[in-house]
């Protein structure tokens, strides 16, 4: 068996051809990350005298296109986590780091059977993962815009935020599109604006309150411009979030799942969990999935010393951990047993984040059983 190790890069890949005895079968080659480069590599592979096993690193997103092309060509491809090659490099005597050496390390790691193939999701899971992660990106951008808008309000109208349950509800946005500072509200003489202010805040905000607020008047025109731009940006991003959620429906319709049977887990949240977990059979035990989510406790002991406190490791998938946290918050409101557990632990003096971490662990155990046995959720 000839092993081909490929070091992945953005524009050019490096390939090393290694025989079964560890010697290079032929000189390494560099090929472009395009269709012509792929065909050049396939031509060299076809000329090799023995069967070929290919190994490559999961470097960012650059490996996906090459992996797809090699698989479609009927080749055996093994995807490695870069942490594996990094650990293997540290075991070598010479500290050399370049593309050619990396390709050699990958080929040798696959040749000796020490490489552990990384999970490559199927097309449906890959689509779900891309959509749900893009949704997270949009949500984060909305959060950034809202925080910036609140900063502008703090300078121009410090009392405004405390007068609404949510500054960004539609009635509040209508007000902020008209005026941005306390001076704007106080100087407005239009009966319609005053009525809108009073009605939107349920009588808690009017011209008297605006006149009493201490806000900077120097940035009035600038604050109005910035705030309107941010409100438009938030509305624009929210439209795209809704479009992404609608786009998620198509791949979700092809998956038989029962996660939404758990009260508090919406279809979008279930899609995020399924996208990050993928094929649950790759986790032989629940503890493996817990570690993959990064909600397992850290352990530190040396000799006779053992740390009395442990923290969440946070070494796994941040996207799965985020989805689990949101699911834990939501399900603890709708499931009586989780709600009772939350209140009991809080009464015992446990911090909220610690309790929610424990609920996330309980919830993940239920998700694991549902996916493993592919059966509906039952309240026992």
Query: In sequence order, what DSSP letters do the residues of 31-86 get, joined into one string?
Result: EESSHHHHHHHHHHHHT-SS-EEEEEE--TTTHHHHHHHHHHTT-EEEEE-HHHHH
**pLDDT per position in the chain (380 positions), as tens?**
899 999 999 999 999 999 988 898 888 999 999 999 999 999 999 988 888 999 998 888 889 899 999 999 999 899 998 888 888 888 776 667 788 888 999 999 999 887 777 788 889 999 999 999 999 999 999 999 999 999 888 887 777 777 677 888 887 787 777 766 666 666 655 465 556 656 655 555 544 444 444 455 566 678 888 888 999 999 999 999 999 999 999 999 999 999 999 999 999 999 999 999 999 999 999 999 999 999 988 655 445 544 456 677 788 889 999 999 999 999 999 999 999 999 999 999 999 999 999 999 999 999 999 999 999 998 87
Q: Could you tell me which residues come within 8 angstroms of residue 65 by beta carbon, excluding any fewer than 6 positions away?
A: 33
Pairwise CA distance, residues 288 & 275, whole Å: 17
Q: Does domain 125-253 have CATH number 2.60.40.1120?
A: no
Residues of the chain with CATH 1.10.287.4070: 125-253
pLDDT at residue 360, as a whole number? 95
pLDDT at residue 167, as a whole number? 85
pLDDT at residue 195, as a whole number? 65
b vs e for 280-317, b when ≥16 Cβ sit within 10 Å of the residue's Cβ? beebeeeeebbebbbbbeeeeeeeeeeeeeeebbeebe
Pairwise CA distance, residues 195 & 206, whole Å: 8
pLDDT at residue 305, as a whole number? 45
- Count of C-beta atoms within a 10 Å radius of residue 331: 22
Q: Could you tell me which residues come within 8 angstroms of residue 60 by beta carbon, excluding any fewer than 6 positions away?
A: 8
Q: Are 65 and 88 in contact (CB under 8 A)?
A: no
pLDDT at residue 190, as a whole number? 47
Distance, C-alpha 75 to centroid of its chain: 31
pLDDT at residue 208, as a whole number? 46
CATH classification code of 2-111: 3.30.420.40
Residues of the chain with CATH 3.30.420.40: 2-111
């Amino acid at each position: 068996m000839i092993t081909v190790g490929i070091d992945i890069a953005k524009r050019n890949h490096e390939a090393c051809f290694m025989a079964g005895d560890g010697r290079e079968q032929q000189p390494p080659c560099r090929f472009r990350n395009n269709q012509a480069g792929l065909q050049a590599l396939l031509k060299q592979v076809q000329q090799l005298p023995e069967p070929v096993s290919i190994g490559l690193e999961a470097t960012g997103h650059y490996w996906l296109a090459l992996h797809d092309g090699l698989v479609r060509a009927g080749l055996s491809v093994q995807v490695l986590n870069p942490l594996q090659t990094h650990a293997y490099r540290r075991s070598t005597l010479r500290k050399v780091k370049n593309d050619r050496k990396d390709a050699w390390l990958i080929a040798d790691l696959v040749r000796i059977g020490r490489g552990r193939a990384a999970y490559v999701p199927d097309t449906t899971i890959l689509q779900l993962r891309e959509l749900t992660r893009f949704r997270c990106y949009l949500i984060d951008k909305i959060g950034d815009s809202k925080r910036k808008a609140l900063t502008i309000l703090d300078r121009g109208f410090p009392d405004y935020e405390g007068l609404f349950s949510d500054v960004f509800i539609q009635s509040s946005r209508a007000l902020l599109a008209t005026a941005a500072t306390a001076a704007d509200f106080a100087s407005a003489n239009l009966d319609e604006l005053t009525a809108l202010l009073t009605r939107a805040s349920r009588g808690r905000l009017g011209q008297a309150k605006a006149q009493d607020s201490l806000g900077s008047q120097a940035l009035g025109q600038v604050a109005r411009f910035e705030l309107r731009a941010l409100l438009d940006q938030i509305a624009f991003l929210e439209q795209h979030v809704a479009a992404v959620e609608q786009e998620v429906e198509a791949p979700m319709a092809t998956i038989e799942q029962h996660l939404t049977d758990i009260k508090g887990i919406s279809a979008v949240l279930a899609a995020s969990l399924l996208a990050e977990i993928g094929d649950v059979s790759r986790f032989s035990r629940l503890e493996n999935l817990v570690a993959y989510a990064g909600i397992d406790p850290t352990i530190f002991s040396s000799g006779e010393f053992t740390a009395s406190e442990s923290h969440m490791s946070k070494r796994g998938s941040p996207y799965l951990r985020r989805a689990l946290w949101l699911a834990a918050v939501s399900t603890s409101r709708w499931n009586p047993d989780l709600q009772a557990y939350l209140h009991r632990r809080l009464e015992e003096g446990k911090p909220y984040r610690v309790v929610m971490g424990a609920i996330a662990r309980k919830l993940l155990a239920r998700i694991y059983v549902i996916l493993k046995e592919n059966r509906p959720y039952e309240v026992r």
